[in-house]
Amino acid sequence: MFLVIDTALIIEKLSLIVVVVLTSLGIALYTTFAERKVAALLQDRRGPNRVGPFGLLQPLADGLKLFFKEEITPNLSSKFLFTIGPALAMLTALMTSAAIPWAGKATFFNREISLQIANVDVGILYIFGVVSLGVYGIMIGSWASNNKFSLMGGLRAASQIISYELAMGISIIALVMVTGNLGLKEIVQQQQDNNWWNVVYQPLGFLIFMICAFAECNRTPFDLPEAENELIGGYHTEYSSMKMGFYLFAEYINMIISSAVMATLYFGGYDIPFVNDAQLQQGALGDWVALFQVLCLLAKIVAFLFLFMWVRWTIPRFRYDQLMNLGWKVLIPLALVNMLLTGGVILYFNK
């Protein structure tokens, strides 16, 4: 029995991985710039405007600054784990992009290519599994630093992420009951065929998922693991140079992927609103439809990123007891109620 290796398929997938990873890093780089501009807009100031035209080279200047900063490793830290922590946080953030369908299909060199790295039948479970590993990057880095503020930030991150994953998971169960699918591409296609996005059927589930996504990304008002005015810098207090940069980049990539997941599950993914994508594919536009689908998904991601930034510069940070109460006493009961109501409605209409 011989193993047949499709070289073209391997090259296709590797090329897609490179494009997705580099695009994610590029978007993350300029998301830092966008965040500072949005903050300036909301606070009635200018924001970065000196480096390059309109300040557009500011992210490159910040990146160079991180590269050339002196890298300090505390003497009493666990050297190996101190390095592994930020690397693991960055790796898990990038791995989640593998299951996202960025568009339908396109033809290159007479070969039909699916613009999804891995069409996993259990794509939702894959994303949940990888996201769950992300907390280890924070925990390992905080413990290896041998700093009490870092350790407290790591413990906060672990309890926060575990708590909000429960509500997020239960909200997804209700969505799976509606769609009958765990594959992300199939969920997008169902939304295209039904002409209604899942947010119409699951508004409460989407709201719960979005709040939990804020908590999973450690974004304000859920940024208790960092909490500069309480823990100096939280889990990355002892980090500098590109190790610190990895943690910062991981946060922004998690925001991008969380936005992509929310857009995919609840807002049709790459589905172009008010347009029949299948008819466009068969018409004169042909493969250009895939480009329009990618741009449509990116537009939805940008809208969610703006929401992340808007909330950060509007709502103050929760106290820790408020954060835990919201997760355990509000979101989990609401998610359970939503799941039971969804099951009841499905049972009633499928008699």
- pLDDT over 80 (residue 280): no
Which tokens hold the place of 95?
């791995």
What pLDDT, on a 0 to 100 scale, did the predictor assign at position 304? 93
User: What 3 state SS string does the chain have?
Assistant: CCCCCCHHHHHHHHHHHHHHHHHHHHHHHHHHHHHHHHHHHHCCCCCCCCCCHHHCCHHHHHHHHHHHCCCCCCCCCCHHHHHHHHHHHHHHHHHHHHHCCCCCEEEECCEEEECCCCCCCCHHHHHHHHHHHHHHHHHHHHHHCCCHHHHHHHHHHHHHHHHHHHHHHHHHHHHHHHHCCCCHHHHHHHHHHHCCCHHHHCHHHHHHHHHHHHHHCCCCCCCCCCCHHHHCCHHHCCCCHHHHHHHHHHHHHHHHHHHHHHHHHHCCCCCCCCCCHHHHHHCCCCCHHHHHHHHHHHHHHHHHHHHHHHHHCCCCCCCHHHHHHHHHHHHHHHHHHHHHHHHHHHHHHCC
Angle formed at CA 36 by CA 217 and CA 168, multiple of 5 degrees = 15
User: If you average pLDDT over residues 323-342, what whole number do you get?
Assistant: 92
Q: What type of residue is 344?
A: G
Which tokens hold the place of 126?
């894959």
pLDDT in tens, 69-106: 877 777 777 888 888 888 888 888 888 888 888 887 77
User: If you average pLDDT over residues 183-194, what whole number do you get?
Assistant: 87
Distance between CA atoms of residues 350 and 80, nearest Å: 56
pLDDT above 70 covers a percentage of the chain that reads: 92
Distance between CA atoms of residues 99 and 132, nearest Å: 15
pLDDT in tens, 214-263: 888 888 788 877 776 667 767 778 888 888 888 888 888 888 989 999 99
User: If you average pLDDT over residues 335-340, what whole number do you get?
Assistant: 94
**Torsion angle defined by CA atoms of residues 281, 119, 173 and 323, in that order, rounded to the nearest 10 degrees:** -100
The per-residue pLDDT of the chain, averaged, comes to 83
Strand partners, 105: 114
* In contact, 70 and 241? CB cutoff 8 Å: yes
| Of the candidates 157, 143, 150, 147, the residue with the CA atom closest to the CA atom of residue 254 | 157
